[in-house]
Amino acid sequence: MILSKTLPTKSTEPYPFREFFDYLSAEKGLAQNTLWAYRRDLARYWDFLKSRRLTDWSRITRAHILDFLMSEKRQNLNAVTIARRLVSIKLFHRFLVQERFISEDVTDVLESPKLWRKLPQFLTPKEVEAILNVPADPHRSGLRDRALLELLYATGARVSEVAGLTLENIDFENGFIRCRGKGGKERIVPIGRKAIEACQKYLEKVRVKQRPRTNHLFIGKNRTGMTRQFIWKVIKKYATLAGIQKRITPHTFRHSFATHLLERGADLRMVQELLGHSDIATTQIYTHVSRDRLKSVHAQFHPRGQ
């Protein structure tokens, strides 16, 4: 027997949204950042449904979902965001069928909008060097920030992974860190000599004197672990001081890490492993960056390149 569930009119997170998020967290093992993205998408979807007075899940049709996607497009959202909205909706409707709230999945034949691949923004080796050389302050913040930036570039780790690093996650003797990535998956990533030296200097001269309240590697305000937002501010600060005009985020270091490896002949599968990508198709975008670089070099230096 199919259960008929009516959406409450007074709720910021209607039934069974909470059950759906519990399912994604407990059974699918999705990371908190991914869960928050789905939560935002479905909040938009729920607002749209309320505006159309759709109070019963069984009343929702493909036309309603397409109307929602078109309304999002009219907000000048890009195709990537709209496609992710649809993924969230499809997952949710599949859950409704699985849990027998509805009998038919009206999203099963809906296809994602055609996406274009936006090439990732990355830094040149000289730009990276310029940023890394800025935090020369021998005092607390300078040594900490130098270690942070060196580690980001040396490992290509996500900002959430670096923020979550604890002392147990780093092995100076063998030159590795243990990253916990999306879905709680762990991977071992090597770190270079310069990053090791910068981290050891920070630990010996700064962190040990801070009497931190946490076991995190990098300590921010109130002697607790650095947040993702704090790390972003650190990066923006030194990019500005280095005179870099590009828009830089923590992910820019990750893009630069992958691009520089591939440009120097690294195997794509190895780069996939280092980045922690479950699908090599995600890593392949960096080959397009490298091809663009090759084309620009050809155009610049070949006699008939123009």
Catalytic residues: 158, 182, 251, 254, 277, 286
By the 10 Å C-beta count (0-12 exposed, 13-18 middle, 19+ buried), 252 is classed as buried
Q: Concatenated DSSP letters for 78-119? A: -HHHHHHHHHHHHHHHHHHHHTTS-S--TTTT--PPPP-PPP
Q: Which residues make beta-bridge pairs with 263?
A: none
- Would you call 179 helix, strand, or coil by DSSP? strand
Those residues with Cβ within 8 angstroms of residue 153's Cβ, 6 or more apart along the chain or in another chain: 128, 132, 195, 253, 256, 257
Residue 188 is inside which H or E element, if any?
Answer: strand 186-190
Signed CA dihedral, 96, 100, 106, 110: sign only: positive
Say if residues 117 and 288 touch (Cβ distance below 8 Å).
yes
Q: Is 56 exposed, middle or buried (0-12, 13-18, 19+ CB in 10 A)?
A: exposed
38, 74, 91, 295 from 84: Cα distances, Å = 8, 16, 11, 32
- Give buried/exposed letters for 119-155 (b at 16+ CB in 10 A, else e): ebebbeeebbebbbebbeeeeeeebbbbbbbbbbbbb
